[in-house]
Structure 1
Amino acid sequence: MDATTPGPLAPEVLERDDVKRALAEHDFAAAFALIKKWGGLSQNRIASACQLTPGKVSMIISGQQQVTSFDVICRIADGLRIPGRMVGLADRPWERQPAAPDPPTAPAARSSDDASWRPESTVHLAAELTRSDLVMDRRTATRALAGAAMSGAALLDTLEGWLEPAPAAERVRRRGRIGRREVQELESTARAFRAWDHRFGGGLRRKAVVGQLNEVADHLEEHQAPDVERGLFRVMAHLGGTAATMAWDSGIQKQAQNYYMLALRAAHAGGDAAFGANVLAGMARQMLYRDRPQDALELVHLAQKGAGKAAWPRVRAMLHTREAWAYAALGRSAAFRRATAEAVEALTEANAAEEPYWIAYFDDAELAGVTGGRLLDMARRDPQQHAEDAAEHIRGALATRGAEAGRSYALDLIGLAECYFLMGDVPEAVHQTHRAVDAAARTQSTRVRAQLGQLYPYTVGRSSSRTVGEARSRIREVLSS
């Protein structure tokens, strides 16, 4: 911040340690209060500069509402001329063009929820999100790990636009340089990235996915033929979904949700309701891992309503298992059984030749594994009633898919070991624990290590057993690696 980047704040305000700290921690309640105090800006002036309502600014300052939206953080940075690095963003456009005037106040419709579902808004979000991610330094990455994903009404309200038809784009752009062949090549790349993540997990190629996503956004900034544009949005949706899964698997929850939102908007712009439902299912899974089953159930129902008849049998089956997962977490065993039965019925109608590649993973083995995992959730509360049933389903999954399944295979083995501990069969539990440790060591998945960490307590307090002690040591080695 200097004299060449004029803004409503004097340079010395952004040089204050308390202001720097508040911005770095995304504590906008403190940041706005300090800006009012030291910058001399009224609440209304802050609201006008940041394209927010005065009421929203008031709620932020009072702590009644947190700033979790990537779009809002960008508006705050641009409106108050806060350098991107101070809030964990890439350099803002006005930083690269120091003589540029303050950005004009956007029309109210541009900052509304409806405007965010316009195709051009989706392209802008992709460009900003990927650019910021690609230049993220170690300190910013550490802060990102602590970021909390939105949940509850704040999340669900932002997704309602998915149920409405995609509005037509209102823009004149340069003529595009690519055709259907190039789009097909991009589709192949997106498919390869998805296969890599499904097998290994852990986000080892996340930056490569984000870079490819940024390239697709660049193509969409140009004028493309309608079929090419639609294809590019679908590629963006697939890449966004993979980037979300990789970020989530690496423990970056807020960034994962940002990419899920981008993937959903891109699927909406590309007219791919089935993949949009798949994205919502991914968001539901994230909520389930965060112990927000009611939010997850709402997301699944939104997916089922939005996809409607566009959903293939495998997609419907997968959505029913997410629904069953939420019911299991809520302790609704009858609803869990009903949803699971509906998943089984839907899967019997599946025809691999007619369905897209991205849902091919959901087969009988996946259904057995997911069902076994949910029964294991219930077995932790009532081992006698559910543990053996859970083990049977997980054994069925393992019998069908082998070590090449990577992350899923490791999660199955961890779950099976826990089942045997719950049933009191310690020798078999130890045997499966060794298999689980071997599989976990071959992945980079944070999620696999988290599940392995939940297995560790079963090996504590049994120090008199040499075999249990060996299993405990092996778990500890993998978790500390």
Structure 2
Amino acid sequence: MEPSASARALPRRLLRDPIVVHALQTRSFDAVFAAAKAAGMSFNAIAGATGLKAERISLVARGESRITALDIIERIADGLRIPGAMLGLAARSWESDTDAEPQTAREDESMHRRELLRTSLAAGLTAAPLNHLTDVLARADHALAGAGPADLGRLEAATEQHSYGYGGRAPTDVLADLIADFADVVPLLQRSQPAAARIALTRIMGQLGGMAAVVLHDLGNRREADSWFATAARSAQESGDRTLHAWILARKAMVPLNFGAPHAAAALAEQARHIAGTRPTAAATLAAAVTARAYALAGRRDKADAALRDADHLAGKLPESERADTWFGHCEQKHHVHLSHALTALGETHRARESQAHALALSAPTSTLTRTLLRLDAATCQHRDGHTIDACHAATATLLDVPARYRTGLTRRRAVDLYRSIPADLRTTSAARSLADTLAA
């Protein structure tokens, strides 16, 4: 947004005041407006600079009204000349006399955003970090409708680095870095771009957005994951990359798959298979594997078996370039992870255990999330074979063997599904109660 013609800068000393800085970071405009008035800036002056009514400024300053809309926050930033980074926004157009910001300024803003995200997300997916994620996504959707010279090499390298997964890092740390790099792409798409650069940027946005959605899904935040997958899919479509589009839809199908809606998951996965086509690609193989898991959970054995055969056939024909151990590749370990879940759901415990053993042998010791899910699949196999008490002990031990941050989201859901399948007469046993207590904690 262009700054208001009547823009009037907030007194510069306030931008160095720790209380005001914190208020800006948390978008607590009651404290910002109150500090501005105490510094000699009237509510009428703030209203004139921002285009808001003086009455509303007064209500906000008294804590009787709040400002959360992104367009209003941008008007405040531009009208009062508050640097975008201080409000979690992209650098404003007036922050530089030239179209291109100095590299150091961009790096400082990106680093500030990254640290703010990491700190906020480490404290949990509460309202404040979720608001920031929503703002970044809103600017992305706006940017996809227009777009400048871009350091594509750096962005592509960062995207490739992210694709190698968690690497033993906490999901919240990975999410913070993904969102920060995603946010760096947004202002580039808001400038005029050559066609080739715009295609590359929208593809990068699709990749980063898709990976961020995967992490949000793993953390158990279904609604946010769906929103990020939607923007990622739109980005992939605009870039013309059908393989990326299919991968995003297949990963999106895993949200309803893992949160109790297998029929919806199957529909999404089938859509991904249609877009991917029959060529042996990682995306086509993933889509077939997810389809098999969805039909298995939905009790459609015929369709699950057919999809499993297709997944195995495609996996066997994948060229080496498609077998990379990344989020976008489909390596042997990843294939067995999908087979483990599908075969466990089908009750084919012998074959499921074979896939679990293969996947565990191929998983790095740092793959905490994957290894935990495989161990929970193994516990479910014990339950299906009639050894429910042993299954409860195994599931409880699995959850207690990992840090608390790994007992949420997807892992908790998998363990809850096991507990809910335990017959009522066995839920009074000490083993079942121990599992229930661990889940409650």
Q: TM-score range by the shorter chain?
A: 0.5 to 0.7
Q: How does 1:282-297 map to 2 (within 5 A)?
A: 282-297=251-266
1:193 to 131, 154, 162: 162
Give 3-state SS (helix, strand or coil) of 1:92's partner: helix
> Shift in Å at residue 336 of structure 1?
0.6
User: Which amino acid is the alignment partner of residue 83 of structure 1?
Assistant: I
Q: Deviations along 1:191-226, whole A, 9 cap, x unmatched?
A: 323324375563223222211111111222233343
Written as runs of structure 1 = structure 2, the 5 A alignment for 1:217-228 is: 217-228=186-197
1:249 partnered with 2:212: no
Q: Distance in 1 between matches of 2:349 and 2:245?
A: 34
Q: Which residues of structure 1 form unaligned runs of 5+?
A: 21-81, 101-129, 148-168, 380-385
1:222/1:434 Cα in 2 relative to 1: closer, same or farther (>3 Å)?
A: same
Distance in 2 of aligned mates of 1:358 and 1:227: 25
Q: Secondary structure at the match of 2:171?
A: coil
Residue in structure 2 matched with residue 299 of structure 1 by the alignment: 268
Q: Does 2:49 correspond to 1:83? A: no
Does the aligned pair in 1 maintain the 2:296–2:304 contact within 8 Å? yes
- Aligned residue in 2 for 1:365: 333
Partner of 1:263: 232
Tell me: CA distance 1:208–1:397, structure 2 relative to 1, closer, same or farther (3 Å): closer
Task: Call closer, same or farther: CA 1:374–1:137 in 2, change over 3 Å.
Answer: same
2:107 matches 1:94: no
Contact map agreement 1:440 1:449 (CA 8 A) in 2: no
Does 2:242 align with 1:273?
yes
Which residue of 402, 411, 422 maps to 1:448?
Answer: 411
SS in 2 for 1:240: helix
2:345 pairs with 1:377: yes
Q: Which amino acid aligns with 1:315?
A: A
Matched-pair contact (CA < 8 Å) for 2:280–2:317:
no
Letter paired with 1:142? T
* Matched ranges for 1:63-462 at <5 A: 83-84=67-68, 92-98=73-79, 141-143=125-127, 176=149, 178=150, 182-197=151-166, 200=169, 202-308=171-277, 312-353=280-321, 358=326, 361-379=329-347, 386-425=348-387, 429=391, 432-433=394-395, 436-437=398-399, 440-441=402-403, 444=406, 446=408, 447-455=410-418, 460-462=427-429
> Percent of aligned pairs with the same residue?
19
Provide the rounded CA distance (Å) in 2 between the counterparts of 1:90 and 1:477: 44
Q: Which amino acid aligns with 2:369?
A: R
Q: In structure 2, what is the Cα distance between the partners aligned to 1:429 and 1:369?
A: 19
CA contact (8 A) 1:244 1:256 kept: yes
The separation in 1 between residues aligned to 2:80 and 2:359, in whole angstroms, is: 61
Deviations 1:152-196 (A, max 9, x none): xxxxxxxxxxxxxxxxx985x6x52x4xxx423322222323324
Q: Offset of 1:246 from its aligned partner?
A: 1.8
d(CA) in 1 for partners of 2:319, 2:52:
59
SS at match of 1:237: helix
Do the aligned residues in 1 keep the contact of 2:178 with 2:212 (CA within 8 Å)?
Answer: yes
- Are the counterparts in 1 of residues 325 and 331 from structure 2 also a CA contact under 8 Å? no
Deviation at 1:479, TM superposition (A): 6.6
What per-residue deviation string (whole Å, max 9, x for no partner) do you get for residues 418-474 of structure 1?
2113323468647744762365338636222333444567685333xxxx49x937x
What is the number of residues matched between the two proteins?
347
Which residue identity is paired with 1:403?
P
Instruction: Tell me: CA distance 1:426–1:399, structure 2 relative to 1, closer, same or farther (3 Å).
Output: farther
Distance between the aligned counterparts of 1:443 and 1:141, measured in 2?
A: 12
Of 451-460 and 229-238, more deviation after overlay is shown by: 451-460
2-side partners of 1:184 and 1:264: how far apart? 22
Q: Matches of 2:357 and 2:124 in 1, distance apart?
A: 42
Q: Report SS of the residue matched to 1:403.
A: coil
